[in-house]
Amino acid sequence: MTTTHSTTKIVDALQAALPGRVDTDPALLDAFTTDRSGHRSPGAPLAVVNACTIEDVQAACRLASEFRVPVVSRGAGTGLAGGAIAGPGEIVLSLTGMDRILEVSPANRLAVVEPGILNGDLNRVLAGHGLWWAPDPASKDISTVGGNIAMNAGGLLCAKYGVTREAVLALKVVLADGRLITVGHRTVKGVTGFDVCALMIGSEGTLGIIVEATLKLQPLVSGGVATVGAFFDSVEDAAAAASAITAEGLVPSIMELMDGRTITAMERFAGDAVFGGAGAFLLVQCDGPAAQATASRAAALATAIGGRVETTTDPEESDRLVGLRRNAFPALEAMGTMLVEDMAVPRDRMADAFAAIRRIEQKYDVAIPSTCHAGDGNLHPSFVYTGDTVPENIWAAAGEMFRTALDFGGTLSGEHGIGLLKRAWLRDELGDDQYELQRGIKELFDPLGILNPGKVFVPED
């Protein structure tokens, strides 16, 4: 994006309008050139605005509109698609300072929060009320509620409890020109007009800035948990077991699959053969009154497919098994820079998807350790490399992976979003007509094109 006004002018104007909220220190700005995607922008942004109130956000947007300067909203910067990365000529709007809980209403099972609160912090407070907010990305302790909403984040528990979209009742959103709107309803149901709230969820900071959220809460699950860890010789067997569990009509709260390459990385990271050298690991956790009954049925199905199965209702042992899964990313990150893919396929194509990953590994001569939210068919094939730029063969392999997902009737991204990383393939998935409609929507919310430009859609010129 080119600007006709001098870039110092907007910074001056921001500083005058928002004294004490604007940082231009290059050392600080460097942090905003990356997120957790492995991407880095070509240089530092102009400034970061540390918003503390809705009015701050409105003022920043009004000035950005006036000076036609791009605004990149940013939560905790844990995104895996490059969505919060800012570069030269852009302003970062940081929302982590807006982190208050404004209301918890057990009688309505809702909470009203500012966008910058960390998911984990919120859930610790809610637990005191016997409630929780279901979106549960593996990054819950380090990502913001606003970022979760902007990405429509999923997680380990969402096969049973739904993704972020199902857990948001209403939003306050600041538009590109600084106007404030409320979308959605404080009531559980409501159908007045088009569902602009759903449109905002997952819009990756390209339609507006989420400044307040009314969240739908759930009662904490009673009755304890039962956990099954199943070790298999091959990933195909593990995928078949997961499919069998779904086909049986069981609804575990967590069902996670890890392949042999991930297991090897984790055993190296832990310095211990925690998986006993298995070729794949399937983790199944069941909660609620049916926990034990569901778990023993799942265990029987896994055993029938050749799994070596451990079942436990002991909370500590359960935590240990779930911890095995939560450590997968850190173990892989320890080996270099990570590029995490995020395709989703129909649940009966999981074994095919793993077979395709192995074929791509051979064709491009790369290792692709993969984990999978098996309850909803969402795979995370990961590439690990050294340095700041993604090697050529990895890009090529990633591209083929996307096409494979589409061939299986699946999608490019189950939960991490498009950002910079997958924008080149968006049109392939949506088709020309839908792509144009989506652009039409982008244009009506953001006619000047100042909200997170270059993310989600490839710039036209």
Ligand X SMILES: Cc1cc2nc3c(=O)[nH]c(=O)nc-3n(C[C@H](O)[C@H](O)[C@H](O)COP(=O)(O)OP(=O)(O)OC[C@H]3O[C@@H](n4cnc5c(N)ncnc54)[C@H](O)[C@@H]3O)c2cc1C
Residues that bind ligand X (CB under 6 A): 35-36, 72-80, 83-84, 95, 115, 137-139, 143-144, 146-148, 150-151, 153-155, 204-205, 209-210, 329, 415-416, 419, 452, 455
**344 near other proteins (CB under 8 A):** yes
Q: What is the smallest separation between the CB atom of 133 and other proteins, expressed in angstroms?
A: 14
User: Is 221 or 335 the residue whose CB approaches other proteins more closely?
Assistant: 221
Q: Which does 329 bind (CB under 5 to 8 A by kind): other proteins, ligand X, none?
A: ligand X
Q: Which does 219 bind (CB under 5 to 8 A by kind): ligand X, other proteins, none?
A: other proteins
Q: Which of 8, 102, 124, 130 binds other proteins (CB under 8 A)?
A: 130
Q: Which does 395 bind (CB under 5 to 8 A by kind): ligand X, other proteins, none?
A: none
Region near other proteins per CB under 8 A, out of 53-61, 256-264, 384-392, 423-431 = 423-431
User: Is 38 or 375 the residue whose CB approaches other proteins more closely?
Assistant: 375
Residue type, 48: V
Beta strands 22-23 and 47-50, pairing class? antiparallel
Distance CA 345, CA 405 (A): 6
Q: Which of 243, 262, 404, 452 binds other proteins (CB under 8 A)?
A: 243
Q: What is the smallest separation between the CB atom of 424 and other proteins, expressed in angstroms?
A: 12
Q: What is the smallest separation between the CB atom of 236 and ligand X, expressed in angstroms?
A: 24
Distance CA 309, CA 261 (A): 20
Q: Which does 434 bind (CB under 5 to 8 A by kind): ligand X, other proteins, none?
A: other proteins
Q: What is the smallest separation between the CB atom of 376 and other proteins, expressed in angstroms?
A: 4
Q: What is the smallest separation between the CB atom of 109 and other proteins, expressed in angstroms?
A: 6
Question: What is the sign of the dihedral through the CA atoms of 157, 160, 164 and 170?
Answer: negative
User: Is 190 or 346 the residue whose CB approaches ligand X more closely?
Assistant: 190
Q: What is the smallest separation between the CB atom of 433 and ligand X, expressed in angstroms?
A: 17
Cα–Cα distances (Å) from 132 to 96, 113, 157, 172, 288, in that order, read 21, 13, 12, 21, 14
**345 near other proteins (CB under 8 A):** yes
Distance CA 176, CA 57 (A): 10
**257 near other proteins (CB under 8 A):** no
Q: What is the smallest separation between the CB atom of 365 and ligand X, expressed in angstroms?
A: 27
**426 near other proteins (CB under 8 A):** yes
User: Is 185 or 320 the residue whose CB approaches other proteins more closely?
Assistant: 185
**97 near other proteins (CB under 8 A):** no
Q: Which residue is nearest to ligand X (CB)?
A: 147
User: Is 329 or 354 the residue whose CB approaches ligand X more closely?
Assistant: 329
Q: What is the smallest separation between the CB atom of 89 and ligand X, expressed in angstroms?
A: 16
**304 near other proteins (CB under 8 A):** no
**104 near other proteins (CB under 8 A):** no
Q: Which of 100, 120, 127, 223 binds other proteins (CB under 8 A)?
A: 223
Q: Which of 192, 362, 365, 460 binds other proteins (CB under 8 A)?
A: 192
User: Is 197 or 263 the residue whose CB approaches other proteins more closely?
Assistant: 197
